[in-house]
Amino acid sequence: VLILGTTVGIPQALLYYKYFPLWETFLKGLGAEVVVSHSTTKRMVNTGTAVAENELCLPVKVFYGHLLDLKDKADALFVPRVISVEKHSYTCPKFLGLPDLARASDSEMPAILDPVFNSRQSIRSFYSSLFEFGSSFTNKKSVILKAWFHAVNAQTAFQKRMELGATPLEAIEGINTPPIKSDLTIGIAGHPYNIYDPYISLNLINKLRHWGVNVVTTEMIPPHTLEREAERLPKRLFWSFEKDVVGSAFHWMRKGSVDGVVYVLSFACGPDSLIQVLLESEAKKCKDVPLMALVIDEHSGEAGMITRIEAFIDMLRWRKQS
């Protein structure tokens, strides 16, 4: 049993952008102190890339950088094994192996806390895994249950803030972001750890806002809408997060609610390559909403990205005017 007040580190990478309020509230409810890694820097990308297998996608390399950043700041690191977050779907296989990657990344890594999140298991098995994990902090089941229900409430509030137009970081920090009054709205689709990490995305969302563009993202659309849109595919997508990305882009294209869609994808990501094909095929059918794919890797440069985005915005404005 870990003692109360144990400092648990949460890497500010990968599913942090999806589940941080859930995880933080749960851990605090169990009596842990929570520390989060620094936001991504060039140095973290370099240290992560140096220890990671070369063929891994950029977000996983960045995740390594965050683990190393936390190594000396926490007694234990929280690296859950997220297998499935809804019935009939899985997450990317990389998420299943993260705790093992974390343990192997450095011989002096602190303890890795790796609760399993698997929606395909029964409710009974879920609660038994929850109690097993919580017993590392307390023997009282009531404390574990209370911490979990508070965590679920925090996650629901987080989801609602995003549906009102906040990015995950704004929702976490409690910043209200009223929509910009603009002649142009762009939908940004992609994995949250790519589009919201200011370093990885080269600060794409804030740059667009700075240029007077209204930005909407996948997380700002209610889950039932994403689900309904993704159901238009002839076969259900195997991966939950990718299904949401497809659902958001289909929603914008079909409704014509945005002037253009930017799809941000990682080099060396298998699921992203599949989504790209699906989105391009949909964009050909919905000719009114142009689609631009923006591939990012550890060598992506700001100047090249700015040129491409500016050209895309010019093209969208030209289309509107003509």
Binding region for ligand SF4 (CB under 6 A): 57, 59-60, 92, 94, 191, 266, 269-272
Distance CA 124, CA 141 (A): 14
Provide, rounded to whole angstroms, the least separation between the CB of residue 272 and ligand SF4: 5
> Secondary structure of 48-77 in the HEC alphabet?
HHHHCCCCCCHHHHHHHHHHHHHCCCCCEE
Q: Which is nearer to ligand SF4, 278 or 286 (CB)?
A: 278
Nearer to ligand SF4, 59 or 290 (CB): 59
Please give the single-letter amino acid code of residue 226.
L
- Which residue, 39, 38, 62, is CA-closest to 52? 62
In the bound complex, what is the minimum distance in angstroms from residue 297's beta carbon to ligand SF4?
11
Q: Rounded to whole angstroms, what are the CA distances from 226 to 76, 217, 221, 236, 246?
A: 35, 12, 7, 12, 8
Report, in Å, the least distance between residue 77 CB and ligand SF4.
18
Phi/psi of residue 188, each to 5°?
-105, 115
CB of 19 vs ligand SF4, minimal distance in Å: 14
Nearer residue to ligand SF4 within complex by CB, 154 or 279: 279
The residues with which 59 forms a beta bridge, in sequence order, are: none
Nearer to ligand SF4, 6 or 266 (CB): 266
Q: Which is nearer to ligand SF4, 45 or 213 (CB)?
A: 45
Helices 240-255 and 270-285 pack at an angle, to 10 degrees, of: 20
Tokens found for residue 178: 């009223």
With respect to ligand SF4, which residue has the nearer C-beta, 18 or 207? 18
Residue 187 CB, nearest distance to ligand SF4 (Å)? 19
Smallest gap from Cβ 274 to ligand SF4, in A, equals 10
